[in-house]
Amino acid sequence: MYSFDSRVRYSECDENGMLALVPMMNYLQDCSTFQNETVGRGLGGLRHNHLGWVLAAWLIQIDSLPRFCDAITTSTWCYAMRRLQAERCFEIHGADGTTHVRADSQWYMYDFSQRRVTGIPQAESVFLEGDGRPDDLPQIPRRLRLRGEGTQTSAIAITEQHLDTNRHVNNAEYVRFALLAAGELGRAMDPARLDVQYRAMALLGDTLHPVVYDGDNEITVSINGADGKPRAIVRMEGRA
């Protein structure tokens, strides 16, 4: 297991002084990239070989969110790695031991020179350290389904600020887009669970079209490309 300590910054907080959802996801992503660098499998080596880790799916359970200036520890471990897919868990704890966030995720290796998913190099098995997946963490859904008639919201033009080092839209940005779309319809939510599935890369210059599907205690947002096909689907489940 790899961990790093931090404090919740003012720039990461929402209007209530709590760690906001997108910065929370950035802590998870930062934790895995820090581990990559620590074990010598960082961005430089992957980029030299035209490779990059690309996220396929998130399941994030949010028990609570820390406040401004709280001390937190973010941890990650890879518990499974097959030929084409790696699976990695995350946690965010408070200094008093409170579990704020638990997450599971699925990743694949992408060859940017060939523009396709490729086999995970054997050297990446360095991340397998023997830590297992928590038994009480729900499974990642095989597929997020869209039910009923959706409502399209304002289009989003992809600019440089949305991109990561792989030159595609950063995974957390899709959650930001979903929150903006739900807010536009007056459906702001304090989610207890996030499910995100990524279908295709969105790139600089693309225009995305969020479509909101409203449920009893959940909102699902399909973030579509100009062709009408999803680039990502985000489901936000409210607190009971």
Q: How many domains does the chain have?
A: 2
Amino acid at 206: D
> In the prediction, which pLDDT does 130 show?
78
H helix or E strand, kind and range, residue 93: strand 86-94
- Which residues, listed in sequence order, are joined to residue 169 by a DSSP beta bridge? 163
Strand locations in 143-206 (E): 151-152, 156-157, 191-198
Mean pLDDT across the stretch 24-43? 92
DSSP-derived 3-state class of residue 23: helix
Q: Is residue 141 part of a domain?
A: no
CATH number, domain of 212, equals 3.10.129.10
Q: What DSSP element (H or E) covers 177?
A: helix 171-184
41-56 pLDDT, tens digit each? 888 888 888 898 999 9
**Residue ranges making up the domain that contains 198:** 151-238
